[in-house]
Amino acid sequence: MEKKKEFGKRFAGKVAIVTASTQGIGFAIAQRLGCEGASVVISSRKLKNVDEAVEKLKAQGIEVIGVVCHVSNAEQRKNLIEKTVQKYGKIDVVVSNAAANPSVESILQTQESVLDKLWEINVKASILLLKDAAPHMPKGSSVILISSIGGYNPHASMAMYGVTKTALLGLTKALAAEMAPDTRVNCIAPGFVPTHFADFITNNDAMRASIEQGTLLNRLGTTEDMASATAFLASDDASYITGETLVVAGGMPSRL
């Protein structure tokens, strides 16, 4: 039987909200922060998924509550913040992970309603969530936006999605300046990770092999890889880092 990983308690006494956190990268991040001592608030659109994820985390001894939240719904966003503050009194960490990719059309073939949805969920929702959360975030708090390697080099089948992820790189810089000095704002740009969100790529053997060959480490990323990087940036170990994007993509080309 695999030995359970032991982590330090960098988040003891801290409260963390993670959006879109009932599976995939979001769940792994919530799990890691919880294992390191955080009280975690998880959320996603479906109550069943929220309840199941809460039970999994509780079974690991993690202090957790779950709230249904579609990030483009203003009332549900406000409810997420209110429930967190009612229960825990503050918010130390916000991880904005929710994203949508409703289209594989080229940019100029994408319907306006789809462009609106991509902007609403992938960019605007992060801004509005932080607008609600900021008054409850104490000195030393931290925000992590989840971008993508596609923010640097938009993939043809996910081009507009990639552009919204590019916007998060700029948003990180702007919010870091705006929320300083009390709150640090950083960003993770994951490479390809085999989750439900990316299964149309990673389930195709030829495409998967091609992506693996495009990395220096000859493998796809794992949800744990993303959780480790997020936990570092959110923790006091990164207390002098803000406005930065950490690319976690196995050496895939991003920038100089």
DSSP helix/strand/coil, 44: strand
What are the C-alpha distances in Å from 129 to residues 102, 178, 195?
Answer: 21, 15, 24
Tell me the β-bridge partners of 245: 187
Cis amide linkage into residue 181, ω under 30° from 0: yes
Contact between residue 104 and residue 49 where contact means Cβ atoms under 8 Å apart? no
Q: Which of 88, 152, 161, 240 is catalytic?
A: 161
The tokens for 80 are 């997420």
The tokens for 115 are 């462009």
- Note if 161 is an active site residue: yes
Alpha carbon distance 184, 124 (integer Å): 19
Alpha carbon distance 146, 203 (integer Å): 23
Alpha carbon distance 221, 223 (integer Å): 7
Extended beta strands in 125-199, E state? 141-146, 183-190
Point out the residues that are catalytic.
161
